[in-house]
């Protein structure tokens, strides 16, 4: 750190940046400020001055508060705690819920305009029950870290410091009840607590061997590992199922084409497509984790045309291209659903899809900047953004989910 680290400065915040930090300026330099809201004037403490182009700071006092400021929903994360001792994972917890969604909408709209040259009108939609609960009680699974005394807690933002806590208000009541906050777990790094919708509550302590659980979505049950990926919001699997079903352009969908669910996990979205278009639907889920692929095979077994293959998506698509014979693409007329990790699909995958030329892409994104980049890449291959919806799958955090339909002109 340089000589400015630890210095207190007064800043007026201009806008919200991607990542949940507000933007201020100090002598022309950009300063990213945590725990602040655009329009506020705050006293902030410089935490990182190593970059020439920007610094980071933490709010320590609000001098002129926004009308949207609220007492933080998690006392362990509020500005009453010293910088560096604030629990991470609820960085929007000091902002009124409706305004959180407006800020997320702005980030998504700005990313699409800046990176893809698109002007879009989109609303960040609340999930069922969240407004009634004040955006609390939605996490069906949490990961807590273990400090040097064996106590449980999240890490502070941009830090490896564990903040011991006695509650987790973003978690469901069942998860909070199952979390052993008072116990000590010396010798372990992490403790996962989950209460699946279809299985009993369980703890995963350290690097335990995975065991199979079941998650229920509507009338359907999905097998998966307790250590595997699953949407954490209690309503997210059902919401994304409906959103993907609605996002598919029916006029372009061919149940006999080589339809794909890329980054398919245990088959949630492949099942959504097959449920929507019937028992003759042909769709293949592609997933890098072989155990998830095994579960997807089981979860999709009722559809004769559905299956799952294990492999890295970029390599799998490359192999598909290499097997292509003649002028007809194996994805001719196909619908491709993709739900990549936060980093997005990226250049290689989007280029491969561009060459294989499916009829439409349904892109499920948890990062607006990665989505905007990939939309721009798709546009270079002749696709246009036909529709987009956004969902507040992560209240009191800066994260937002989007479902976009890209159609080949």
List, as residue ranges, the binding site for S-adenosyl-L-methionine.
231, 263, 287, 339
Residue written as token pair 């190593």: 50
Alpha helices (H) along 182-306: 236-247, 268-277, 290-299
> Known catalytic residue: 366?
yes
Catalytic choice (136, 260, 366, 400): 366
Q: Say how many C-beta atoms besides its own lie within 10 A of residue 279's C-beta.
A: 12
Residue list, annotated binding site: 231, 263, 287, 339
Per-residue b or e along 343-379, where b marks 16 or more CB atoms closer than 10 Å to that residue's CB: ebbbeebbbbbbebebbbbbbbbbbbbbbbbbbbbbb
Record the tokens describing residue 253, joined without a space: 């969908």
Alpha helices (H) along 306-367: 313-323, 346-356
Q: Say how many C-beta atoms besides its own lie within 10 A of residue 10's C-beta.
A: 12
Nearest to 78 by CA among 393, 407, 396, 369: 396
CA distance linking residue 191 with residue 208, whole number of Å: 10
Catalytic residue IDs: 366
């Amino acid at each position: 750190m340089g000589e400015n680290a630890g210095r207190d400065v007064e800043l007026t915040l201009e806008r919200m940046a991607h990542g949940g930090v507000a933007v201020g300026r100090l002598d022309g330099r950009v300063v990213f400020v945590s725990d602040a809201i655009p329009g506020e004037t705050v006293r902030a403490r410089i935490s990182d001055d190593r970059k020439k182009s920007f610094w980071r700071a933490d709010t320590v006092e609000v001098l002129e508060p926004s009308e949207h400021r609220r007492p933080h929903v998690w006392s362990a994360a509020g500005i009453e705690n010293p910088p560096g001792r604030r629990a991470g994972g609820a960085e929007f917890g000091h902002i009124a819920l409706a305004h959180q969604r407006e800020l997320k909408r702005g980030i998504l709209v700005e990313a699409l305009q800046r990176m893809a040259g698109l002007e879009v009108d989109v609303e960040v939609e609340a999930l069922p029950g969240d407004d009634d609960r004040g955006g609390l009680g939605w996490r069906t699974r949490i990961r807590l870290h273990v400090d040097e005394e064996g106590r449980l807690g999240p890490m502070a933002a941009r830090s490896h410091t564990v903040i011991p806590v006695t509650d987790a208000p973003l978690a469901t009541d069942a998860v909070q009840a199952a979390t052993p906050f008072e116990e000590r777990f010396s010798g372990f790094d992490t403790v996962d607590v989950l209460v699946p919708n279809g299985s009993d509550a369980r703890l995963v302590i350290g690097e335990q061997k995975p065991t199979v659980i079941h998650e229920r979505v509507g009338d359907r049950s999905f097998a998966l590992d307790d250590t595997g990926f699953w949407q954490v919001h209690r309503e997210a699997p059902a919401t994304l199922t409906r959103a993907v079903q609605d996002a598919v352009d029916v006029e372009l969908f061919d149940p006999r084409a080589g339809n794909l669910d890329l980054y398919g996990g245990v088959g949630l979205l492949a099942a959504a497509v097959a449920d929507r278009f019937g028992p003759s639907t042909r769709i293949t889920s592609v997933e890098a984790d072989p155990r998830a692929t095994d579960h997807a095979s089981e979860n999709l077994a009722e559809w004769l045309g559905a299956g799952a293959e294990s492999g890295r998506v970029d390599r799998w698509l490359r192999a598909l291209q290499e097997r292509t014979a003649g002028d007809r693409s194996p994805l001719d007329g196909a619908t491709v659903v993709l739900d990549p990790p936060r980093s997005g699909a990226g250049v290689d995958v989007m280029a491969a899809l561009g060459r294989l030329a499916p009829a439409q892409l349904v892109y499920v994104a948890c990062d607006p900047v990665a989505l905007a980049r990939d939309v721009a890449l798709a546009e270079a291959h002749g696709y246009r953004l036909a529709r987009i919806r956004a969902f507040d799958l992560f209240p009191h955090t800066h994260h937002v989910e989007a479902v976009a339909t890209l159609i080949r002109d």
